[in-house]
């Protein structure tokens, strides 16, 4: 039975284990062409010449397209439309596409791409925030505001006056790197235009419904003639929220004379042209009262959005909204700037702007606790936000707020209680430390963009239950949870259930798989749809059984039972008498937003503020090797408030996955560029953790009830990523190694060790 | 693209004599990656995977004492599974266990690791400190070269176009009591060494009778440091002696900066790694 709360196997587990699940990459239609893009290779420049004649003559080449072949606006994006499908005059990062080739084979494609002659006159490269903000910086997009795409302020109380009232005030500047999503399945899809002009596309995407509008605008196509299918993804993490291959692939299909076209970026192209997490610089000033009350925070956040906006402004907005931490903070002033550079394009990534500031606000908590002579966990606990209080952005927490409980549970964990003894027992050349972090992550789109979903469920003609999922499942398991929800309400086992994955012709617009909203919003709609279907089945059964009405019926596996008379009716029998349209139920849901006025944020059109937050308290036990600077995370514990847990297995997998990705962010992952040119070009030079680098991760659910959520749940897809970086930093700080720049590579840690012990360090050094 | 799959050594040598342009492929874990990156289709390839005689690992007695002969096409997994290697050449076994990850170890060979001649090659420092020699064969005859004479620079070896590396002969270390290998990589598997130290020490009554040290990834080839070895000889395993040897080591290395680490880091850590050998309470050196 697919009951809520059960550790039931994922609905897709067997298909994936057997390799029968079809990802977009698995699709090779007959008579297919390959499409591929020529990348600029130069981070900033003016295109002087593109000569395609030689490439067109390569055997097997069907078409070589450039800017002049692009109809429509030639602009991709979904809040800001600033990214060309094919660059015509100017390139703004090394991964910009300047030509598109269609060929019969990959070999012909590669040869033709090499045969295109391209002359780009280089412009000065804007490769850092400082370079972008300099008075004489080259203006990348010709904005009146220079390279500042958006500057904004949010405020609560009076930060200036608040800081003046503090007994201790600390200042620090923190830096976080660009991070690569590094999903297993790189960006890809297949597309075809059929005889009636409809564009059919199967693509690895987090936003199949929105993709139609992005493609339509960029290429001058009617979105209603674009049909997108979104199978399971081999990972997304935000990197497939917004067009990757979509517009190029659609353009290719427009020149393929009805033949299907496949585009599949290899790892190097994914590294070069795919989206990254924004690198950030965060200047913080924070103050507290002598009694341990956090009182005021002022910060300036600069996000490097690379060559194009993507969701950079919204990402910055979330960073600002969370910059005071999950604490009852009376005074906050957060200033943000989202800045264009010639670096790789930054976009959505699990922890959307919050992963960056979590390092900064938790770093400030460690420094304040130290300045106050207070235990860092006690200091966090003392200030943890609770229900009924206004959070740091000024929104009253009217819903589940488990921050304090997460910290209390962590305080009682053996790893925390034994920290002094464990630290003292360090082997030679080793420092041991235990760090903690308290984090949160706004759920849903926030105000200004309706966070909605439309669910559909059907009793099939043969008496099975089919759920029409409208939100992509990139591995997080929402589709499986939807089956579980329908199974719960309709009392049906897995064997009776069917699942349709997102398809703009068959399922209904339900927003993107993003923002920890996926299960929450669609789940609420689905519950209503399933309840409607159930009531309908009872009423139709009443007709068949000649009873007065649908009351007195209960769902049983495979059918319904009339309890007063004990008579059963199989679902197949019900299905046979119902009109096909009658066997469908649909319902929709909108995530609530706060009606409360907040100060600042007028510059954002959407995405601020949020009402619902999952919370987490993390602990990392680390060892630092004094000879090499290597940081080993030996134990990891996560307490997570995601409301009620619908499936403990899926919950743990989300926590484990996000902690693993967060530890990579903390320790090794860094998209390195030099003058805008990528240096970490593949998974050999971009270092993600392996199983040997990760500790066992203990996951504990702190089950509040989120009354607005489906069965009391909140989304935890993102919050877990925000913890590891500050938790490891907190451990390092307590070991005498204050780190302000992530990741904590062994080179940086060795330098910190030398700073901490100049005597020993230089003796070992010279 | 001509591809040859000889089944014995004489056939292999004949192919190499007839096709001097051919490249030899054993596991292909390096070669195929580089060919793909270059975007070229390979020219002639002579593959060694079916030459069974090149895959053997055997203990043998030589004029100078016991040795182990390892066929060039023995995979890293073969080394790990070999009792002979584990018992007699523990350093090589340790290096093999730090090599990439199981799937790569199943394909990659010791001959390939030697001929690729990367300064970061995991098995090379162990072969250097154990004074291993390589066996080369061509239709013109066979020859034997000590490791340092064979690997002449990054990616450069003394292999002639018609020659194939058939095996490596490793004398079994006898007097050494400490076998120490440490690889510093950016992660615990699938990592290219940023610095590595391989050390063999013969400690008798608390004094170091003999020391052999080799560093990976801190110079164009494997770096030895006779000065540091001399400092250790005759002294005890104290932090003072090791610190002095570490200074000598930092002078001896010639590292570069790359995407993985700076030259300064490599130089510093090349010395630091020696301190791990200190005889300190709570830790057994070489373990």
- Establish if A674 touches chain B: CB-CB under 8 angstroms: no
- Residues in A closer than 8 angstroms to B273, CB to CB, are 627-628
CA distance to partner chain A, nearest, from residue B27 (Å): 18
CA distance to partner chain B, nearest, from residue A267 (Å): 11
The answer to whether the CB of B241 falls within 8 A of the CB of B235 is yes
- What are the residue ranges of helices labelled H in A491-517? none
Residue of B nearest to A762 (CA): B268
pLDDT along chain A (766 residues), means of 10: 87 95 97 98 98 98 98 94 97 98 97 97 98 98 98 97 98 98 98 97 98 98 98 98 98 98 98 98 98 98 98 97 98 98 98 98 98 98 98 97 98 98 96 98 94 98 98 96 97 96 97 96 98 98 96 97 98 97 98 91 87 98 98 98 97 98 98 97 97 97 97 97 98 98 98 80 37
Contact A693 B187 (CB under 8 A): yes
- Residues in A closer than 8 angstroms to B283, CB to CB, are 427-428
Contact A692 B273 (CB under 8 A): no
CATH architecture of residue range(s) A24-123+187-264: Alpha-Beta Complex (3.90)
Strand order in the sheet with A465-468: A497-500, A465-468, A452-459, A584-590
Would you state the pLDDT for residue A758? Answer: 57
Residue B55 CA to residue B73 CA, distance in Å, equals: 5
Tell me which residue in B262, B269, B282 faces A628 most closely, judged by beta carbons. B269
- Establish if A756 touches chain B: CB-CB under 8 angstroms: no
- Establish if A685 touches chain B: CB-CB under 8 angstroms: yes
Would you state the pLDDT for residue A3? Answer: 86
Provide the residue ranges of all domains of chain A, joining segments of one domain with +: 24-123+187-264, 276-445+597-765, 452-590
pLDDT in tens, B263-273: 999 999 999 99
The C-alpha angle A240, A243, A244, rounded to 5 degrees, equals 70
Structure tokens that stand for B48 in this block: 């060694």
Contact A110 B282 (CB under 8 A): no
Residue B4 CA to residue B23 CA, distance in Å, equals: 10
User: Which of A667, A685, A746 should we substitute to test contact with B (largest number of B Cβ atoms within 10 Å)?
Assistant: A746
Instruction: Give B53's DSSP letter.
Output: G
Structure tokens that stand for A264 in this block: 């599949």
Contact A750 B269 (CB under 8 A): yes
Has residue B285 got a pLDDT over 80?
Answer: no
Contact A428 B278 (CB under 8 A): yes
- Residues in B closer than 8 angstroms to A628, CB to CB, are 184, 195, 269, 272-273
- Establish if A79 touches chain B: CB-CB under 8 angstroms: no
- Establish if A110 touches chain B: CB-CB under 8 angstroms: yes
CATH architecture of residue range(s) A452-590: 2-Layer Sandwich (3.30)
The yes-or-no answer to whether A276-445+597-765 and A452-590 have a common fold is yes
The answer to whether the CB of B134 falls within 8 A of the CB of B149 is no
- Residues in B closer than 8 angstroms to A689, CB to CB, are 187
All structural domains of chain B: 50-171 (3.30.465.10), 178-275 (3.30.390.50)
pLDDT in tens, B171-202: 999 999 999 999 999 999 999 999 999 999 99
Percentage of residues of chain B with pLDDT beyond 70: 98
The answer to whether the CB of B162 falls within 8 A of the CB of B151 is no
Q: Assign B283 a pLDDT band (cuts: 50, 70, 90).
A: low
Query: How does strand A567-570 pair with strand A584-590?
Result: unpaired
Would you state the pLDDT for residue A763? Answer: 39
CA distance to partner chain B, nearest, from residue A686 (Å): 9
Q: Assign B282 a pLDDT band (cuts: 50, 70, 90).
A: low
Contact A747 B189 (CB under 8 A): no
- Residues in A closer than 8 angstroms to B275, CB to CB, are 429, 627, 764
Helix (H), strand (E), coil (C) string for A382-425: HHECCCCCECCCCCECCCCCCHHHHHHHHHCCHHHHCHHHHHHC
CA distance to partner chain A, nearest, from residue B269 (Å): 6
Contact A627 B272 (CB under 8 A): yes
Adjacent-strand bridge partners of B46? B4, B24
Query: Residue A535, exposed/middle/buried by CB under 10 A (0-12, 13-18, 19+)?
Result: middle
Report CA dihedral (A15, A18, A19, A23) to the nearest 10 degrees: 10
Which CATH number, 3.30.365.10, 3.40.50.1450, 3.40.50.1110, 3.90.1150.10, labels domain A276-445+597-765?
3.30.365.10
- Establish if A16 touches chain B: CB-CB under 8 angstroms: no
CA distance to partner chain A, nearest, from residue B251 (Å): 10
The answer to whether the CB of A382 falls within 8 A of the CB of A411 is no
The answer to whether the CB of A121 falls within 8 A of the CB of A48 is yes
Size of interface A-B (CB pairs under 8 A): 69
pLDDT in tens, B104-118: 999 999 999 999 999
**Which residues have C-beta within 8 Å of that of residue A560, sequence separation ≥ 6?**
A537, A538, A541, A553, A554, A568, A569, A571, A574
Torsion-angle region of A201 (φ positive above 0: left; ψ -120 to 50: alpha; else: beta) = beta
Residue of A nearest to B241 (CA): A764
Contact B265 A680 (CB under 8 A): no
Residue A460: Cβ within 10 Å count: 15
Which residues on chain B place their C-beta less than 8 Å from a C-beta of chain A? Answer: 39, 101, 184, 186-192, 194-195, 243, 246-247, 259-262, 265, 268-269, 271-273, 275-276, 278, 280-283
Adjacent-strand bridge partners of B45? B3, B23
How far apart, in Å, are the Cα atoms of A511 and each of A454, A517, A735? 9, 9, 45
Residue A199 CA to residue A91 CA, distance in Å, equals: 28
Contact A110 B283 (CB under 8 A): no
Contact B187 A627 (CB under 8 A): no
């Amino acid at each position: 039975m697919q009951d809520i709360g059960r550790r039931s196997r994922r609905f897709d587990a067997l298909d994936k284990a057997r390799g029968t699940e079809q990802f977009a990459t698995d699709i090779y239609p007959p008579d297919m062409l390959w499409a591929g893009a020529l990348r600029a290779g130069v981070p900033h420049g003016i295109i002087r010449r593109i000569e395609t004649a030689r490439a067109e003559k390569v055997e097997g080449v069907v078409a070589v397209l450039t800017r002049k072949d692009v109809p429509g606006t030639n602009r991709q994006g979904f809040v800001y439309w600033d990214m060309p499908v094919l660059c015509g005059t100017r390139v703004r990062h090394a991964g910009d596409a300047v030509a598109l080739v269609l060929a019969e084979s990959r070999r012909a494609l590669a040869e033709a791409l090499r045969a295109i002659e391209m002359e780009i006159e280089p412009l000065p490269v804007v490769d850092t925030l400082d370079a972008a903000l300099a008075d004489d910086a080259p203006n990348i997009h010709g904005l009146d505001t220079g390279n500042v795409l958006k500057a904004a302020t949010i405020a609560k109380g009076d930060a200036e006056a608040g800081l003046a009232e503090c007994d201790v005030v600390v200042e620090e500047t923190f830096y976080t790197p660009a991070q690569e999503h590094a999903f297993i399945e790189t960006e890809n899809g297949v597309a075809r235009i059929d005889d009636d002009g409809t564009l059919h596309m199967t693509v690895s995407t987090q936003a199949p419904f929105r993709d139609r509008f992005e493609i339509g605008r960029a290429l001058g196509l009617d979105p209603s003639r674009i049909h997108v299918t979104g199978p399971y993804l081999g990972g997304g993490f935000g990197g497939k929220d917004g067009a990757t291959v979509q517009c190029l692939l659609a353009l290719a299909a427009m020149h393929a004379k009805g033949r299907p076209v496949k585009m599949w970026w290899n790892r190097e192209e994914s590294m070069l042209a795919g989206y990254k997490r924004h690198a950030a610089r965060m200047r913080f000033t924070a103050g507290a009262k002598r009694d341990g009350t956090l009182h005021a925070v002022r910060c300036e956040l600069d996000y490097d959005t690379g060559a194009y906006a993507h969701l950079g402004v919204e990402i910055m907005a979330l960073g600002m909204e969370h910059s005071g931490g999950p604490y009852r903070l009376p005074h906050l002033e957060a200033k943000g700037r989202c800045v264009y550079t010639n670096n790789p394009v930054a976009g959505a990534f699990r922890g959307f702007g919050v992963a960056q500031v979590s390092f900064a606000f938790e770093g400030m908590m460690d420094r304040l606790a130290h300045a106050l002579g207070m235990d860092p966990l006690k200091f966090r606990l003392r200030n943890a936000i609770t229900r009924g209080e206004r959070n740091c952005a000024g929104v009253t927490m009217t819903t589940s707020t488990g921050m304090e409980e997460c910290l209390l549970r962590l305080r009682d964990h053996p790893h925390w209680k034994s920290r002094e003894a464990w630290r003292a027992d360090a082997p030679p050349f080793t420092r041991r430390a235990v760090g903690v972090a308290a984090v949160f992550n706004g759920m849903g789109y926030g105000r200004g963009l309706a966070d909605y979903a439309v669910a559909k469920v059907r009793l099939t003609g043969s008496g099975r239950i089919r759920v029409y999922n409208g939100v992509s499942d990139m591995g997080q398991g929402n589709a499986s949870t939807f089956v579980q929800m329908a199974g719960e309400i309709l009392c049906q086992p897995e064997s009776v259930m069917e699942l349709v994955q997102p398809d703009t012709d068959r399922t209904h617009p339900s927003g993107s798989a993003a923002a920890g909203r996926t299960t929450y919003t669609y789940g609420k709609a689905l519950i209503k749809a399933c309840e409607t279907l159930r009531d309908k089945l009872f009423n139709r059964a009443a007709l068949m059984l000649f009873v007065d009405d649908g009351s007195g019926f209960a769902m049983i596996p495979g059918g319904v039972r009339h309890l007063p008379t004990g008579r059963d009716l199989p679902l197949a029998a019900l299905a046979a008498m119902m009109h096909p349209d009658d066997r469908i139920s649909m319902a929709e849901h909108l995530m609530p937003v706060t009606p409360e006025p907040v100060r600042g944020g007028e510059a954002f059109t959407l995405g601020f503020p949020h009402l619902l937050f999952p919370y987490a308290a993390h602990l990392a036990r680390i060892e630092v090797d004094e000879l090499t600077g290597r940081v080993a995370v030996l134990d990891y514990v996560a307490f997570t408030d995601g409301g009620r847990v619908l499936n403990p297995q899926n919950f743990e997998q989300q926590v484990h996955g996000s902690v693993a990705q967060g530890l990579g962010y903390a320790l090794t992952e860094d998209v390195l560029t030099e003058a805008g040119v990528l240096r970490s070009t593949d998974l050999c030079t971009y270092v993600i953790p392996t199983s040997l680098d990760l500790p066992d991760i203990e996951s504990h659910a702190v089950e509040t009830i989120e009354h607005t959520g489906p069965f009391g749940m909140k989304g935890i897809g993102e919050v877990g990523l925000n913890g590891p970086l500050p938790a490891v930093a907190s451990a390092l700080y307590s070991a005498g190694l204050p780190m302000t720049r992530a990741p904590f590579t062994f080179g940086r840690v060795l330098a910190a060790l030398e700073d901490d012990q100049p005597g020993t360090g230089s003796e070992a050094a010279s | 693209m001509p591809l040859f799959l000889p089944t014995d050594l004489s056939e292999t040598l004949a192919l190499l004599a007839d096709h001097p342009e051919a490249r030899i492929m054993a596991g292909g874990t390096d070669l195929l990656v580089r060919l793909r990156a270059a975007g070229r289709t390979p020219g002639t390839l002579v593959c060694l995977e079916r030459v069974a005689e090149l895959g053997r690992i055997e203990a043998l007695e030589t004029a100078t004492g016991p040795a182990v002969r390892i066929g060039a096409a023995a995979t890293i997994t073969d080394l790990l599974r070999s009792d002979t290697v584990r018992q007699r050449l523990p350093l090589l076994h340790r290096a093999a266990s730090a090599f990439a990850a199981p799937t790569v170890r199943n394909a990659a060979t010791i001959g390939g690791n030697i001929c690729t001649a990367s300064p970061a090659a995991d098995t090379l420092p162990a072969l250097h400190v154990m004074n291993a020699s390589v066996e080369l064969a061509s239709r013109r005859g066979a020859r034997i070269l000590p490791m340092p004479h064979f690997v002449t620079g990054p990616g450069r070896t003394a292999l002639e176009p018609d020659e194939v590396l058939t095996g490596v002969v490793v004398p079994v270390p006898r007097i050494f009591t400490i076998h120490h290998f440490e690889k510093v990589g950016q992660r615990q598997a699938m990592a290219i060494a940023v610095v590595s130290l391989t050390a063999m020490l013969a400690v008798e009554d608390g004094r170091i009778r003999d020391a052999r040290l080799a560093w990976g990834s801190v110079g164009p080839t494997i770096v030895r440091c006779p000065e540091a070895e001399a400092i250790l000889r005759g002294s005890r395993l104290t932090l003072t002696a090791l610190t002095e040897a570490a200074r000598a080591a930092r002078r001896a290395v010639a590292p570069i900066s790359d995407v993985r680490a700076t030259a300064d880091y490599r130089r510093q850590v090349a010395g630091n790694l020696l301190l791990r050998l200190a005889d300190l309470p709570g830790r057994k050196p070489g373990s």
